[in-house]
Structure 1
Amino acid sequence: GLCNAPPNASFGHVIVRGSLMGQYFSSFRGPYAQTAVEARESVEALILKERLVQLRAAKYQRDVQIATKIAQTRDVVHFMAGFYVTLAVAQVVKMRVLRTGPITIGQFPFYLVPFTLTYNLDLAYGTKIERLNREVKEIIRNEKHWFNEPMSLPPYLEVSYRQLQTEMNAKLALVGRPPERDWASFDTPMTDEEVLDLSYPVTKFLQQNQGFNWPHSNQQLCDPICDEPAV
Structure 2
Amino acid sequence: MGNSFTINMEENFRKNQEFITEMNTIKIERQIQMRNQMRERLVALEIAKSRELFFWFSAFYLTSFTWAVTCYRYKRKPVFLVPLVPLTFIIAYQADLAYGTKLHRIIVESEHILKFERDLLQLPLGVPTASALDQKRMENDENKKLHLVVTS
When normalised by structure 1's length, the TM-score is 0.35
**In the TM superposition, what is the alpha-carbon distance from 1:23 to its structure 2 partner?**
0.5
2:91 matched to 1:89? no
CA distance 1:66–1:86, shift in 2 (3 Å): same
Seq. identity, %: 5
In structure 2, the residue corresponding to 1:188 is in which secondary structure? helix
Match for residue 98 of structure 2 among 127, 140, 159: 140
Aligned equivalents of 1:71 and 1:55: distance in 2?
A: 25
2:82 matched to 1:73? no
Moved beyond 4 Å, runs of 4+: 136-139, 189-192
* Map of 1:19 onto structure 2: 3
User: Does the CA-based 8 Å contact 1:140-1:148 persist in structure 2?
Assistant: no
Aligned equivalents of 2:8 and 2:64: distance in 1?
A: 85
**In the TM superposition, what is the alpha-carbon distance from 1:59 to its structure 2 partner?**
1.8
Richer in helix (by share): 2
Aligned equivalents of 1:72 and 1:50: distance in 2?
A: 33
Structure 2 unaligned spans of 5+:
77-93, 121-152
CA distance 1:64–1:148, shift in 2 (3 Å): farther
CA distances 1:23-60 after superposition (whole Å, capped 9, x unpaired): 12222332232111101110111012111111121122
2:121 matched to 1:188? no
In structure 1, the residue corresponding to 2:101 is in which secondary structure? coil
Structure 1 unaligned spans of 5+:
1-16, 93-135, 154-184, 193-231
Larger radius of gyration: 1
Higher relative contact order (CA 8 A, sep 6+): 2
User: Does the CA-based 8 Å contact 1:67-1:140 persist in structure 2?
Assistant: yes
When normalised by structure 2's length, the TM-score is 0.50
